[in-house]
Every structure is written in C-alpha cells, then in structure tokens.
Structure 1
Amino acid sequence: MKHSLILCTICLGLAACGAPMERLGLAGPNADKTAALPDGGDADQASYDPVTSAPRPPAAARTVEALDTTTPEQRAAAVAPAAAGARVLGTTVVSLGSATEPGLWIKTPLVETEMQGRVKNPATGKSSTVMLIPIEGPATAGSRMSLAALRLIGASLTDLTSVEISTLR
C-alpha cells in the first residue's frame, strides 16, 4: 500500500511537469503548441522564422545528420551575408544546447528579448543568422547553441567555442 501511494505521488508530480513527460514520450502531439500569446496569437507563430526554424527530429534520430533537420535552403539563407547595420552585442562562450531542439538558435544572457541576430566564429570566419533567445544569468555567463548553428559556423560539437553575437536590427 505504501509503495502504491509513493508511485501515485511521483506520477502526479511528473504529470505537472511538461518537460519530463515529453522526454518520456507521454506528452500529447500538440503539447508544445498550447502556449498562446495575450493577443490571441500562437506563440509558435510569433517566433517562427523560415530561416531559423525547423521541424523536430524524429524520436529515433541518433546521428548529427538525422538531428539537424534544417533544409539546404535554410542553411544557404542563414549563411548569406547580413545587411549592414548589425550591432555587436558581445562575445560569449557556447556549448551544444539540446540536440533534439530544432532550428538555428542561441540561448544567451546577452539579450533580453527574443530576436533575430547573427553569430560569428572568429576562428573560422563563418557566420550564421540565428534566433537569439534570452536566458537568465550575467552577461559573462556562457550560452547554448543549436546543433545546426554550430555546424554552420564550423564549431566543434564537443568543445567550448567563443563566438561574437550581433543583432540584425
């Protein structure tokens, strides 16, 4: 009886947490599409950008190629030279973020709101358009970058890489 009560408590606790349920494959097919904006719009539509967004990789994906779901067209658009007027925000050290989170993005404390920007790898000279996503922490804290974006700028997936971040606005 005691074990049943403990098991039920754990299950109810996990039911309140979306991320663990999704990792266990128990979240519904539209679980990540339920967030709505105050104006009635869909959160996915507000941050969707055809260059930086991509579909989720299949659950069975295990290789870098299978996890990177960006299209050749998206990759070409992302590495195209940016228009003049970009404002450099600073330099940060990046590591690989969640490899199953699709798209071209960087989660960094250098921004306060989500916006489109660019990252440049000074070691290779390569740069890419990405979605800049704010995270908590001091500006000197590290950042996490998508697998697809790391590949485009020629950065190692296992090492820490210093990158320059700029806005496109």
Structure 2
Amino acid sequence: MMQKILPFVLILSLSACAAGEGPFAKRSKTPQDFDFELDAPPPPPPGATSAEALDTTTDAQKAEALAAAPTAGEASLGKMAVSLGKATEPGFWLRGAAVKAAGKGRVETADGQSVQVDLIPGEGAAQLSLGAFRALGLSLTALPEVTVFAE
C-alpha cells in the first residue's frame, strides 16, 4: 500500500515547490524579515503613487537615522552606485550583493552626509530605500555613489 501512495506524495510535494510555495522555494528577503532596532514605519497606503505618500517614515525616524555617526568597529563594504529600491518597502535599508550578512550599517554620500540603514543581503546591484534616498536629499532618478559601512 505504501509503495503505491509514496509516488503521489512525492509528486504533490514537488508540485508545491514548483509553484514557489514549497519548503525549497526561493523568496527575496524584505526588511521585515530581520530583527532590527529602528522602529519600522507602516507600509504605504493602497493606491499611493507619489514619493511623499510612499515614504511613511516619520520626522523622528528620519532624525534618528540621520544621526548616524561612524563607529570604531564599523567596516567599509566599499563605494558603490545605488539605485532606488522598491518604494513600497518602508524604512531605511540597503540591499545588494555586497552585503554578506544582515545587520546594521551606515551609508555615506560623497558630501559626507550619512544615514543609518538596515543591511540586507541580496543579489545584484545595491538598492537603497526610498526613505534613505529622501532623508539624504538624493534625486530619486539618480544613481549616486555612496560608501557603505557595516557595524
């Protein structure tokens, strides 16, 4: 009996994986998947289309993130061009292949401004959150070069 049922169980298990919902399904991590100290802002309201509506970070959260200062134990991950990340993912974060482990970090612009971010491992080029772009006063259509530091 078990020999007749086993193939069906295996086929069903593999079909769930093929649909992207099984235990081996690959999904990208979001800032909410990690436990960080910064209070996470709420997601943007449905139908939001402007940068102001999509950026749900508060003035207090921006002030806290902008108060980032170099720390003795931080390590440079290097200079890199960053593009605007998914605008519907709130908070201050940087995702990219240069990030090998999730944690706290800091992004510094060429003119010395810096913002505290959550570092998230990812694939490909570095992406910076809408909140971080706006806090640093960067053009949303630019590909600014920044230096990234990990704590």
For Structure 1 versus Structure 2, the TM-score category normalised by the shorter chain is 0.7 to 0.9
Is residue 2:71 matched to residue 1:71? no
What do you get for the CA RMSD once the two structures are aligned?
2.5
Is residue 2:132 matched to residue 1:149? yes
Is residue 2:147 matched to residue 1:164? yes
| Structure 1 residues 75-97: Cα deviation after superposition (integer angstroms, max 9, x where no partner) | 11101142531221101110011
Larger radius of gyration: 2
Is residue 2:79 matched to residue 1:96? no
Report the secondary structure of 2:53's partner residue.
helix
Amino acid at match of 2:61: Q
**Percentage of identical aligned residues:** 41
Report the secondary structure of 2:48's partner residue.
coil
| Structure 1 residues 47-78: Cα deviation after superposition (integer angstroms, max 9, x where no partner) | 24325x22100112111111111111111110
Task: Tell me how far apart the structure 2 counterparts of residues 45 and 162 of structure 1 sit (CA, whole Å).
Answer: 27
Structure 1's 144 and 126: CA in aligned 2 closer, same or farther, altered over 3 A?
Answer: same
Q: Which residue of 1 aligns with 2:10?
A: none
TM-score by length of 2: 0.73
Is residue 2:101 matched to residue 1:113? yes
Is residue 2:81 matched to residue 1:55? no
Report the secondary structure of 1:93's partner residue.
strand
Q: Structure 1 residue 100: deviation in Å?
A: 0.7
| Structure 1 residues 89-132: Cα deviation after superposition (integer angstroms, max 9, x where no partner) | 1011100111111110011211211111000111x321100001
Structure 1's 48 and 55: CA in aligned 2 closer, same or farther, altered over 3 A?
Answer: farther
Structure 1's 130 and 61: CA in aligned 2 closer, same or farther, altered over 3 A?
Answer: same
Task: Tell me how far apart the structure 2 counterparts of residues 131 and 111 of structure 1 sit (CA, whole Å).
Answer: 10
Report the secondary structure of 2:86's partner residue.
coil
Task: Tell me how far apart the structure 2 counterparts of residues 152 and 166 of structure 1 sit (CA, whole Å).
Answer: 17
Report the secondary structure of 1:94's partner residue.
strand
The partner residue of 2:120 within 114, 133, 137 is: 133
| Structure 1 residues 12-31: Cα deviation after superposition (integer angstroms, max 9, x where no partner) | x9xx458xxxxxxxxxxxxx
The answer as to whether partners of 1:55 and 1:69 remain within 8 angstroms in 2 is yes
Q: Structure 1 residue 136: deviation in Å?
A: 2.6
**Count of aligned residue pairs for this structure pair:** 126
